[in-house]
Chains A and B, each alone.
Chain A
Amino acid sequence: MPEPEYDIDFVCNPANRDIIFSNIKSRKGIGDIDKVLEYSGNPEKQELLLQELSKIPNCTHPAVIEYGDEPRLLKKCGRKPQFDFEPQEFAELATNLKAIRTHTLGPVTGQRSYILLGDLAELEEALVQYTLRRLMKHGFKLLSVPDIILTKIIERCGLIVDNNRTLVYNLDSHYDDNYSLSGTAEMSLASKLMNTIISHDALPMKLAAVSRCYRAEGSGSLDERGIYRQEITLVHQFTKVEMFVCSKPNQSEEMFQDLQNIQEGLFSSLGLHFQIMDMPSLDLGSSAYRKCDMEGWMPGRKLYGELSSCSNCTDYQSRRLNIKYRTKDGNAAHVHTLNGTACAIPRMLIALCETYQTKHHRITVPNELVPLMKGKTLIKKQPIADMRTYKYKQKLNVKEKA
């Protein structure tokens, strides 16, 4: 683990106190600049200083600050599909096709578990394959990354591990170090580049990974469980294709736009209707400098739901994980890191299935995906065995012994 190299010149300069203070206030209010300044002059409190410094969030893009608390709509793509029947919601649609099982899994594998069956499982693989093909064309390199990573890396990536609310699943303390389940491949990818110096001609470095993601959030209170019982967007485990880019600081804005274009191209080619939102400072994680969400139209539930997001983290992560590049004149400087979701399976499935449902409650396979589904064009009822809950209490056969 490297020692984090915070931007001390900027943060510990009392002249910047007001800027940083208002930035913290406009975001989630985590971090205390006054404490940083208090400790900064005091060499004895070095440890406390580092602790406080780690909590200070990234700066915010100047354009975003003006938005206030509301996201700004940047663009609408595609059109809302029209139906001459009442479109069904994903859960109903897929359950009737026997393509998903959620019923009575709770006590066995945890609340909001789901099992994709048959063609829906094939569709997942097709989507991953399709996304990867497009990404490779854009010069991304595929990596295979671990799903269980050190808790420290998650902290360094800007996810504050808070004791009161579990956002991350931790493993039992029996294993040598403190391990947690990664919430996104971004963290594993960043940890791969930890302590490296990249040569300047290798930038921008574009990496992609397919991984399982585990999120503990969103199930704290009981009423939430009630509302979202059927909600597959708020699942705890899913497959995701993630994009991760390291760039020179002056290129990061441009790369950010590139990532957005890639996402836009991907969703448009699948015929989805979606809108691109620039998120306000309140919704930014502590690592993000700017974040854009793509919200897909889900005809069944008649609302826009988040399909993917894309953030520019500038040097927040690279300072904490010691990722540098060698400039032309031979100096080492921190890179800027960016990340974006290329395809988060459950959300994508919901948007696709609801958009492509037919009158007879089946699902047409989008043209682009047909070759990857072995030529299948329509998802019908799946040949899954009928099952029902088996209530049985054994009465031991003891008669002959009695």
Chain B
Amino acid sequence: MTYKRKKTHRGDMHLKKNWQTKRRTKDLDEIDEDLKEENARKLLNQEVDFDKPGAAQYYCVHCARYFIDKTALHTHFNTKVHKRRMKALELEPYSIEDSERAAGKGSYITPQKRKIETMTREDLDINATLTYALKRTYRTLICDVCRRTSLPLNFERDYSSALYISGNKAYKAFAYLSPYLDFDERFANVENLQKNLALRGMDVNVVLLKEAWDFYTKVVADRYALENNNKKLTDCMKTLLKNTEHTAEQQQEVLKLRTQLKIVRQDLKTIKEAIWDLDEDVIEKVLKLPNELDPRTPVGEPVILKSVGNLPEILEKKRSHLDVGTSLDLLEYKNPMCYFLNNDAALFEFAVLAHAGRIFSENNMVKIVGTDFSRSFVVEASGLNHEDPMATFVIENHNEVERDSPNRMHLVGGASLASFLALHTKQLINPKNFPLKYFATGRQYTPSPRDSHICGLFTVCQASVAHSFIVVKDAKSEEYKILFEELLEIVCRLYDDLCDHYRVVMRPASELQSCEEMRVSFEMWSPFMNRYIEIGHVSTYGDYFSKRLLIAYQTSTGREFPTMISGTVLSVPRLLACLLEQNLDKFVIPLKIAEFIP
């Protein structure tokens, strides 16, 4: 027989206090009722009652508490108790209907989260009634938009853009520029966009995104209207106040204007805040939309544009380039982050870039030595996820990066797209100087993706490369196509000097990066891997970057965004690897390259 444990009522004072109804405070669902506008107004404007603290003039609706004066009330707003209560109120209270649904009448509805803001008497002042109503409608609308857009895109919640910094984050990160948003044009042809996304294999619900964008523009339009209104009223006020003497009628007028101005300014503030919230939800998502597709980009399979030379005979012995390189004392490979080139391989690396430089400068391209670092907003603008440490190397302790700023510093390398974009960011280019043709030879740093297969020099993180960059005025012009073809030819000339067999392949839409319109890659054969490996590529980007980074040129009617062609035309470690695998006995430096050996 078991006995009941004794002393079951020790230490339960806090429970008893909770149960007692002597000084029972309001429950959350009651408070929820109080938050309704008409009830809230009553509670905030109570009759003077000397039995209550502060004569019932300083009441916190959310906590159902009276305070003795205004200071006490406002200090309370900053306390944890109040904030915790605000949080608790976010969730819709359980209702009779809920319980009925639970019992089988109807089906379950998930309780919604709402945004609760501290309410004060001033908020609910008669003048501000409109503001409050406005705020509520925007809040509910935002909730709606958020819920619907966040589902299809499925982005992380704490994502913060470094390229587009919304007003409420400006204190954290300095916004050097705000990108040009052309989504009206993009959304004008939804079908086209949908097709583009489908071809690229991206799963985004364009219709919902378009709705979100339309809603955003509508709110912005409201804001402009309010701004205009504000300006008009201010002007009226100014003219009225110019005269020092006023008739009774004029004074009446001034008072009226003042009230109106007050309302308009309140509204403006509210709408601004609403836009900030929208910025985070809508703009950041639309900025992730991919570039348009070039009509030349193939749909399913890659298209071989050109194939030079013949596939070398299939060797009986297949050895990986690591094996060959190590046995010839050309290579010491430790991991993707660390490898050394010795003897001829080191000389080859230097000479091949010098040779590439010579070919480019013979074709009137200007050499530059770029910067190796780049801020997050440039990285984001170049179509990479700047928050992913596997997309670019992130510097942890750069002294110019403010704490918690989304705009961090990345190591990209001097011969990289970001480095060229940095040169032109927020620049107005003289239209007479077009087309701009640049190249760089140097380092490029890319982390190796987490789950990728590591295969020697093909996936190293630090590589010496040659990179080209061309800016053309108009995407629709013939010049754009001609220059692209020209660049392909130049690169082909370079490859002719390097190897006997290579091919030029146009990549299908599904293999493109989101910033690319079209990509043509130069491939060499790797006997060990038994497949072609991309050694370099040239891509067209349209005005994707120039709109995002405000790169423009002046025209007679205004400003236009130029279009860009760029690409890492040659990656030395990959080239070296293919050459090593193709000749197992010794490494022969191609004749044309040997000239440049120091």
The interface of chain A, by Cβ under 8 A from chain B, is 101, 104-105, 107-111, 113-118, 120-122, 124-125, 128-129, 132-133, 136, 141-150, 166, 169-175, 179, 181, 188, 192, 210, 212, 214, 216, 219-220, 236-237, 239, 374, 382-390, 392-399, 401-402
Contacts and interface: CB of A to CB of B under 8 A. Distances in A.
B425 A170 contact: no
A401 B346 contact: no
A400 B524 CA distance: 53
A149 B220 CA distance: 49
A110 B461 contact: no
A237 B373 contact: yes
B217 A144 contact: no
A122 B367 contact: yes
A172 B396 contact: yes
A144 B371 contact: no
Interface stretch (B128-136, B189-197, B441-449): B441-449
A269 to B, nearest CB: 15
Contacts of A128: 350
A393 B176 CA distance: 11
Contacts of A390: 426-428, 550-552, 559
A231 to B, nearest CB: 16
A149 B334 CA distance: 12
Interface stretch (B16-24, B145-153, B336-344): B336-344
B340 A143 contact: yes
Contacts of A392: 180, 550, 552, 559
B395 interface: yes
Contacts of A219: 399-400
Contact of A142 (B350, B370, B390, B551): B350
30 contacts: A101-B423, A108-B425, A109-B422, A110-B373, A113-B373, A115-B368, A115-B369, A115-B371, A118-B367, A141-B342, A143-B346, A144-B346, A170-B395, A171-B394, A171-B396, A173-B396, A192-B340, A210-B350, A212-B442, A216-B398, A383-B366, A385-B429, A385-B434, A387-B427, A392-B550, A392-B559, A393-B178, A398-B221, A401-B218, A402-B222
A384 B366 contact: yes
Contacts of B398: 110, 169, 216
A128 B346 CA distance: 14
A239 B217 contact: no
Contacts of A146: 337-340, 462
Nearest to B461: A148
Given A108-B378, A148-B393, A398-B220, A133 B598 contact: yes
Given A108-B374, A132-B598, A142-B346, 14 more contacts: A101-B423, A107-B375, A109-B378, A109-B419, A110-B371, A110-B400, A110-B409, A124-B369, A147-B443, A170-B396, A188-B340, A237-B414, A398-B221, A401-B217
A162 to B, nearest CB: 12
Interface in B162-196: 174, 176, 178, 180-181, 184
B357 interface: yes
Contacts of A399: 221
A144 B427 contact: no
Contacts of B370: 115
A117 B396 contact: no
A109 B426 CA distance: 13
Contacts of B159: none
A110 B425 CA distance: 13
Contacts of B598: 129, 132-133, 136, 142
B366 A382 contact: yes
Contacts of B374: 108-109
B349 A144 contact: yes
A114 B337 contact: no
Interface string B454-491: 00000001101000000000000000000000000000
A115 to B, nearest CB: 6
Interface centre among B345, B427, B596 (most CB of A within 10 A): B427
Chain B interface size, under 10 / 10 to 19 / 20 to 34 / 35 or more: 35 or more
Nearest to B378: A108
A387 B350 contact: no
B354 interface: yes
Contact of A396 (B181, B395, B442): B181
Given A110-B375, A402-B225, A129 B354 contact: yes
Nearest to A179: B337
A144 B345 contact: yes
A115 B434 CA distance: 20
A118 B368 contact: yes
Contacts of A389: 426-428
A129 B355 CA distance: 12
Given A108-B422, A110-B400, A132-B350, A401 B214 contact: yes
Contacts of A188: 340
A401 B399 contact: no
Contacts of A125: 354, 357, 367, 441
Interface in B194-250: 214, 217-218, 220-222, 224-225
Given A132-B598, A142-B350, A384-B366, A397 B396 contact: no
Nearest to B331: A144
By CB atoms of chain B within 10 A, which of A141, A142, A175, A192 has the most? A142
Contacts of B389: 172, 174-175
B180 A394 contact: yes
A216 B395 CA distance: 11
Nearest to B547: A394
A143 B550 CA distance: 41
Contacts of A150: 338
A172 B393 contact: yes
A280 B584 CA distance: 53
B397 A170 contact: yes
B411 interface: yes
Contact of B371 (A114, A141, A166, A220): A114
B190 to A, nearest CB: 16
Contacts of A122: 357, 361, 367
Contacts of B419: 109, 115
Contacts of B354: 125, 129
Contact of A113 (B174, B222, B346, B371): B371
Contacts of B361: 122, 374
Of all A-B residue pairs in the complex, the 8 with the closest CB atoms, nearest first, are A385-B433, A144-B341, A132-B598, A174-B389, A398-B221, A386-B430, A402-B221, A390-B428
A198 to B, nearest CB: 14
Most chain A CB within a 10 A radius of its CB, from B224, B346, B414, B443: B346
A146 to B, nearest CB: 5
A107 B174 contact: yes
A386 B447 CA distance: 35
Contacts of B550: 390, 392
B495 to A, nearest CB: 21
B123 interface: no
A129 B400 CA distance: 34
Contacts of A133: 598
A165 to B, nearest CB: 10
Contacts of B440: 121
